[in-house]
């Protein structure tokens, strides 16, 4: 292919070219941003600070706990795969990555059914003993965190797995030759070298939990809401 000749733009067309270059930026960023600020200012009088802080706290708490648990499980699975005679962990690692392929409502139903069965039978036993039962698991944030962990463990798993690919077996063997136990190798060798991968995986899980809506709507406890469910409620009532 012949390379086309480069020709300078005449000065009279420079403002027009700059206008067309800046037009997508204006239409795609500045105009929507100005509209959002304008609508926010109009509805500022109806803003409930206490409700927002409560919803934000719930979202941050759920996202933070799920991120830490997902990173811990991903670290244990990937570290266990490298140990000898751990074939079952390889299957468990692949199984843990399947949750991200299922929609949120499917995960929610799959989690809710066995936990509700447990609560029902446990409450029957309590009633037989003369005590009052309650929703021990299915009505708490435990069921939400459990569903989030199944749904988004693949994100942490992928980040940790890619980070561990850079740690060769020779590096690990050098630590064991010095007499360090498995726990010390994991703490002093793997964790410092996987710092970037852990931050990436934790951030991915954190963001996805913050914006997860279907599973949260189905599993959230009574009188508990997150930013995602609050935004959905406002949108349903045409308040956005």
Residue 105 is part of a domain; what is its CATH number? 1.10.3720.10
29-38, 77-86, 201-210 — which one is most confidently predicted on average? 201-210
Residue 31 within any structural domain of the chain? no
Residue 90 within any structural domain of the chain? yes
Task: Categorise residue 130: left if φ over 0, alpha if ψ from -120 to 50, beta otherwise.
Answer: left
Range of the domain at 224: 62-236
Question: How distant, in Å, are the alpha carbons of 103, 171, 214, 233 from that of 36?
Answer: 30, 52, 25, 18
Instruction: Give the lowest-confidence range in 23-32, 115-124, 203-212.
Output: 115-124
Q: Is the pLDDT of residue 6 over 90?
A: no
Q: How many domains does the chain have?
A: 1
Q: Is the pLDDT of residue 85 over 80?
A: no
If one counts every other C-beta atom within 10 angstroms of the C-beta of residue 155, the result is 26
Residue 82 within any structural domain of the chain? yes
At residue 72, the pLDDT reads: 92
Contact residues for 94 (Cβ-Cβ < 8 A; gap 6+) = none
CA atoms of 100 and 89, how far apart (whole Å): 19
Instruction: Give the lowest-confidence range in 92-106, 140-154, 203-217.
Output: 92-106
CA atoms of 68 and 172, how far apart (whole Å): 24
Looking at residues 177-188, what average pLDDT do you find?
69
Q: Is the pLDDT of residue 205 over 90?
A: yes
Residue 9 within any structural domain of the chain? no
Instruction: Give the lowest-confidence range in 21-35, 66-80, 123-137, 211-225.
Output: 123-137
Residue 165 within any structural domain of the chain? yes
Q: Which of 231, 233, 89, 236 is nearest to 161 (CA)?
A: 89
Residue 6 within any structural domain of the chain? no
How confident is the prediction for the chain on average, in pLDDT? 84
Q: Is the pLDDT of residue 88 over 90?
A: no
As a whole-number percent, the residues of the chain with pLDDT over 90 amount to 23
At residue 181, the pLDDT reads: 67
As a whole-number percent, the residues of the chain with pLDDT over 70 amount to 89
At residue 176, the pLDDT reads: 67
Cβ 217 vs Cβ 232: under 8 Å: yes
Model confidence pLDDT, tens digit, residues 100-152 = 888 888 999 998 888 888 888 887 887 777 777 677 777 788 899 999 999 99
Q: Which of 151, 162, 152 is nearest to 198 (CA)?
A: 162
Looking at residues 201-220, what average pLDDT do you find?
92
At residue 126, the pLDDT reads: 79
pTM of the model: 0.75
**In terms of pLDDT, which residue wins out, 84 or 167?**
167
Residue 198 within any structural domain of the chain? yes
**In terms of pLDDT, which residue wins out, 153 or 48?**
153
At residue 202, the pLDDT reads: 94
Residue 223 within any structural domain of the chain? yes
- Burial class from Cβ neighbours inside 10 Å (0-12, 13-18, 19+) for residue 215 reads buried
pLDDT band for 236, please (50, 70, 90 cuts): confident
């Amino acid at each position: 292919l012949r390379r086309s000749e480069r020709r300078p733009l005449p000065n009279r067309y420079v403002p027009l070219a700059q206008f067309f270059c800046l037009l997508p930026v204006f239409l795609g960023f500045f105009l929507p941003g100005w509209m959002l600020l304008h609508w926010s200012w109009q509805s500022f009088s109806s803003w409930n600070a206490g409700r927002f802080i409560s919803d934000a706290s719930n979202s941050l708490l759920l996202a933070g706990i799920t991120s830490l648990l997902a990173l811990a499980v991903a670290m244990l699975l990937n570290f266990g795969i490298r140990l000898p005679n751990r074939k079952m962990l390889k299957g468990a690692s692949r199984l843990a990555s399947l949750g991200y392929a299922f929609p949120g409502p499917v995960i929610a139903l799959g989690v809710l059914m066995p936990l509700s069965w447990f609560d029902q039978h446990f409450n029957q036993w309590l009633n037989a003993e003369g005590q009052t039962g309650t929703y021990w698991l299915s009505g708490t944030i435990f069921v939400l965190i459990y569903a989030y962990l199944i749904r988004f463990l693949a994100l942490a798993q992928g980040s940790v797995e890619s980070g561990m690919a850079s740690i060769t077996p020779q590096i690990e063997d050098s630590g064991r030759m010095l007499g360090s136990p498995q726990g010390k190798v994991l703490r002093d060798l793997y964790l410092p070298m996987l710092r970037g991968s852990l931050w990436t995986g934790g951030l991915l899980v954190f963001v996805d939990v913050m914006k997860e809506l279907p599973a949260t709507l189905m599993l959230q406890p009574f009188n508990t809401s997150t930013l995602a469910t609050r935004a959905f409620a406002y949108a349903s009532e045409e308040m956005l």
